[in-house]
A and B are shown apart, each in its own frame.
Chain A
Amino acid sequence: MLKQINITLNGVERSVEIDERESLLEVLRDKLYMTSVKHGCGVGECGACAVLIDGVAIDSCIYLATWADGKEIRTVEGFEQDGELNAMQEAFVEEGAVQCGFCIPGFLVSATELKETNKSYTRDEVRKALSGHLCRCTGYQKIVEATEKGLEKE
């Protein structure tokens, strides 16, 4: 069930042969080497595989790769601009919001989606926006604080 799809991946147009049975997670990791996108459960329960699809955070493990045809996909690999971390990455570094790091790309995807709305959020809203991601290391405390800090950055 092979098929060619065209996507914009982190700003670059890519054409890739996929199997229609594959998840976007598999294609991103195995064929396009976007290994920041993590596999934690494969069934939409942990958020480690989240990516931005046309600006919207979606769990790529339960998203068929064929659906991505014609769409813009962004992963943490594409967040840096000219060697500069984006506001959320920077805030996560400054706040020390990272431990094992396995969940972090997923959180950064949702946090960056939030940032791009240019709206302001209460702490409860930040918590809700991040509630589709599990982290077992941090108790979310510094992640939530870093996200708030990232939202305030220029």
Chain B
Amino acid sequence: MSFKCVNQRVIRKDIVAKVTGRARYTADRTEREMLYGALVRSKVAHGYVKSIDTSKAEQLPGVIKVVTYDDLKAIKFPTCGHPHSVIVEKRDIADKTVFTNHVRHFGDEIAGVVAVDSYTARKAAELVEVEYEKLPVYLESEEALQEGAKEIHDGSKNIVKEDEYELGSDVEPIFESADYVLEEDYDISPVKHCHLENQIAYAYQDAEQRIVVVSATQIPHIVRRILSQAFELPYSKFRIIKPYVGGGFGNKQDVVVEPQVVALSLAVGGKPVLIEYSREEQMVATRTRHAVKISLKSGFNKDGEILAQKAVIVSNGGGYAAHGHAITETMAGNFMQTYMSIKNFKSEQITTYTNLPVAGAMRAYGVPQISFAVESHLDSIAGMLQLDPAALRDINMTEDDLNNEFTGVDYSIKGLKEAIERGKERISWNEKQKAYQGQIGEKRKGVGMACFTFDSGTWPYYPELAGANITMNQDGHLYMHLGAVEIGQGSDTVFCQMAAETTGVSYDNVHINSLTDTDYSPFDTGAYGTRQTYITGQAVVKAAEIIYGKILEKAANLLDVGSEKLDVADDYVIDKASKRQLMSLADLALNTYYNEESGEVITCSVSNQVKSNSINTGVCFTEVEVDITTGKVDILDIFNIHDCGTVINPDTAEGQVHGGISMGIGYALMETMLFNKDGLPLNDNLLDYKLPTTLDHPDLGADFVETYSETGPFGAKGLSEPTTVPTAPAIRNAILNATGVKVNSLPMNPQCLFENFKDAGLI
């Protein structure tokens, strides 16, 4: 397939704005007479507010208003950025109020202060005196599930939801008769997104008394719906504006700060009120990636054929439901997707309430956790059988005509198989994997790999929906209004490429505003679920095809030739056969708009519902050097090879892969959120919470196997989230290759490796 604009390294639409400082993020905008909000946050992880005294805060000069849970109607709303469902049972759990006197985690919101500047607001928030009746604090799921545990949410038994499923035959008798059985427990720490821009939003009432919210969000249209629920007002009472956003990674797929600014603004007569979370607040009072304990059991025969697998997944959901059980269900749904020839699976999963900060979506939605378990487990099995881990994977993969019975999605992993072959060659797998076994000495090298399969969008969990409006301006340029959300991933750029490719308008002449505004941007659920390129992309192509049709129709009229003889290229209407330029699009547009008889705006607005998915796949290979004496791991080489269908823009695609690997390295080796026994955070800042710096990884590699997706725009599938999935298990497997030690917890930081090496007698 050859393309002109798609599949090319075009320059990002927003990049010049971003290197010149002209890109204005939420904090860079301002309103006249802006007021500043600060929140009174719980200093205990679980308890009731016995008393609250706001008098000192109110007396502080510059304070305008203090609002507590007592001042607001206690309306419960969900916070998670899922699409709404008309099926009542599918709706998200509504368990959050703007402020509360029953605090469920450290940092839970009790009250808010409005003041003339942020310094005064924060100072006043500290002056609010709160007395607590402390309740027992549960940091682990097991504690929260004990008989007689205090319910964090009444009637919940501290269970958000639990369920199970089976595919194929009953696994238990298969375990009985298998040559070997291996059962392993994986313990995975909670981690944070750490987008560089913290949560921030401001709200005010406009001249028509509508409430305008400017927010760094991934989901403007969902914010509008949730605010309508939280304030019991019609959707249309709200207008959400999303300026440039400084990263989200799923954390801005929850509605967190927006209800707070709306409540505070309404409390001061609709004046603009801004809240910017500090980094410390961001660490405890937004979302986390679930801490998960996974127990995996496999029965297999001596030549490596795995006959049955069982998973028990316990996800620690923190103080509120947020995404409910959906992330844990995704783990279950993903569990068997890559190795379908295993055939017999059982999975039991539960999501709990605890007093940790609230867990939610973070890049790849549960799949990093389940993949760590599944992919590590495979290498443990390979080790037991003295098999090459790549060969073991091959034995248990079926290439074609796959169907995930759990989700019902059809797919193939042909691309993955090719990626594995390419990766093996690139890292000299066959030589190194063997040579690195049984080393001695202070520093030991190892290679490791891990695979993944991942959805593009959220079908069939939800029907997918996206709108796209395209207008051809009087100069022949295109202007696009989309509800899809640019948060740094490069979506605006790939949509412009798609529109250019479809219409023949040059890329430079396709325009889009990075700002999303629910008053002007068509409905789209937003940036999550690796959905926009695949889902919104289809809407863009549909709209662009209509524009293309209109161009041909107008040109046929103006030139008096059959439209079937015409095409568009490089901003000109051309003769299809001779490629001769017949008329510029600028002339065409001008003539169409200002035609005295039949003047017409060249525009279209489409809605596109998608009920398909296109599974994307990939593999990570890495080579590491482990210092046995200190537990320090040096990554010598690491790269991913993805099958994301057609790569719409190699630059932005590579960027996604690099970012995902980097995040995966942090997940593997350093990152963890730490709490003391009372649930108070120990490392709620960027010095003590360790995400990788420039010096913590080597050059990162990104490569692609481009299969063609039958359903995706120009053959594209999704890419961004899964880039981070295979890193941690690949590194874990490389450590195993280097040292012979199976490390089954994350992060594998020096302290953890020291303990593992000690237990294994290496130290």
Contact = CB atoms under 8 A, between A and B. Distances in A.
The answer on direct contact between A and B (beta carbons under 8 Å) is yes
Interface of A: 29, 34-43, 45-46, 48, 75-77, 79-80, 85, 89, 92-96, 98-105, 108, 123, 127-128, 130-131, 133-144
Interface string B251-278: 0000000000000000000000000101
Given A40-B279, A135-B196, A137-B659, A98 B694 contact: no
B662 interface: yes
A140 B488 contact: no
Q: Majority SS of interface residues in chain A?
A: loop
Given A35-B28, A40-B196, A130-B694, A140 B662 contact: yes
Contacts of A127: 694-695
Contact of A41 (B23, B279, B488): B279
B196 A138 contact: no
A34 B279 contact: no
A46 B18 contact: no
B16 A46 contact: no
Interface in B77-120: none
B197 A38 contact: yes
A45 B685 contact: yes
A39 B652 contact: no
Smallest CB-CB A-B distances: 3 pairs: A36-B21, A100-B488, A102-B246
B687 interface: yes
B197 A102 contact: yes
Contacts of A37: 21
A46 B27 CA distance: 17
Contact of B655 (A76, A99, A144): A99
Nearest to A36: B21
Given A99-B490, A141-B700, A41 B685 contact: yes
Given A40-B196, A102-B488, 4 more contacts: A40-B197, A98-B15, A136-B659, A144-B699
B705 interface: no
Contact of B198 (A40, A104, A135): A40
Size band of the B side of the interface? 35 or more
B697 A43 contact: no
24 contacts: A41-B685, A43-B686, A45-B687, A76-B20, A93-B15, A96-B9, A96-B652, A98-B12, A98-B15, A99-B490, A100-B247, A100-B487, A101-B23, A133-B694, A136-B662, A136-B663, A137-B655, A137-B659, A138-B659, A138-B662, A139-B660, A140-B662, A140-B697, A143-B694
A134 to B, nearest CB: 6
A102 B685 contact: no
B2 interface: no
B661 A139 contact: yes
A97 B489 CA distance: 12
A40 B278 CA distance: 8
B488 A139 contact: no
B671 to A, nearest CB: 11
B249 interface: yes
A29 B28 CA distance: 8
A139 B24 contact: no
Contacts of A100: 195-197, 244-247, 487-488
A105 B276 CA distance: 20
Please indicate which of the listed interface residues A46, A79, A131, A140 has the most CB atoms of chain B within 10 Å of its own CB.
A140
A103 B21 CA distance: 11
A105 B694 contact: no
Contacts of A96: 9, 11-12, 15, 651-652, 654-655
Given A76-B19, A76-B20, A79-B20, A141 B699 contact: yes
B198 A138 contact: no
Interface in B648-683: 651-652, 654-655, 658-663
B219 to A, nearest CB: 16
A136 B693 contact: no
B247 A99 contact: yes
